Amino acid sequence: MRLWSLHPKYLDARGLVALWREALLAQAVLRGRTRGYQHHPQLARFRAQPDPVGALAAYLRLIRDEGATRGYRFDARKIARGGMVELLTVTRGQLQYEWRHLSHKLRLRDPQRLARLATVRRPCPHPLFRVVRGGIAPWEKGAAPRL
């Protein structure tokens, strides 16, 4: 499961559809509707919110919006109801880590998209996040060890 902190505009078609599905799975986990993935580390930042399901619903709505701009029909009825949520934070180091991870995936899956993104130096976060100083998030699986 990868719940990108990056803006979904950077994802290729395969990545955007996968994000939609994985975020729906995360929503099911937070609603207690599935037993799998309950301890997935990427859910920590949503669980830390006063309304975890509402925060994930806001995350999903923005993915749905990106899909709509590309002509996809992500079913908005699958998104839980949720009110306004405060922005979550993401560290600059986490964003850069995800950017490298996405670049590697695009190198294999969609080199043309990667070429179009070559001028991006400071990738934008998903609109639900505001960027703060810091390194890679402690919940990030497979990241380089911290010194």
Q: Give residue 32's region: left, alpha or beta (phi > 0; psi -120 to 50).
A: left
Is 121 a member of any domain?
yes
- Quote the distance between the C-alpha of residue 42 and its chain's center: 9
Is 147 a member of any domain?
no
What whole-number distance in Å separates Cα of residue 114 and Cα of residue 57?
29
- Quote the distance between the C-alpha of residue 111 and its chain's center: 21
Is 43 a member of any domain?
yes
Is 27 a member of any domain?
yes
Q: What is the 3-state secondary structure (H, E, C) of the chain?
A: CCCCCECHHHCCHHHHHHHHHHHHHHHHHHCCCCCCCCCCHHHHHHHCCCCHHHHHHHHHHHHHHHHHHCCCCCCHHHCCCCCCCCCEEEEHHHHHHHHHHHHHHHHHHCHHHHHHCCCCCCCCECCCEEEECCCCCCCCCCCCCCC
Is 104 a member of any domain?
yes
Domain count, the chain: 1
| This prediction's pTM | 0.91
Residue 144 clears pLDDT 90, i.e. is over it: no
pLDDT: which is higher, 25 or 145: 25
pLDDT in tens, 81-127: 977 778 999 999 999 999 999 999 999 999 999 999 999 999 999 99
Name the residue range of residue 108's domain.
8-132
pLDDT given at position 59? 96
Q: Give the type of residue at 125.
A: P
Query: Please, which pLDDT band fits residue 147 given cuts at 50, 70 and 90?
Result: very low
pLDDT in tens, 35-80: 878 888 889 999 999 999 999 999 999 999 999 999 999 999 999 9
Q: Give residue 89's region: left, alpha or beta (phi > 0; psi -120 to 50).
A: beta
Query: Please, which pLDDT band fits residue 143 given cuts at 50, 70 and 90?
Result: low
pLDDT given at position 145? 53
The token duo for 140 is 């990030």
Whether the CB-CB separation of 82 and 54 falls below 8 Å is answered with yes
Is 1 a member of any domain?
no
Residue 26 clears pLDDT 80, i.e. is over it: yes
pLDDT in tens, 29-46: 999 998 878 888 889 999
Is 12 a member of any domain?
yes
Is 93 a member of any domain?
yes
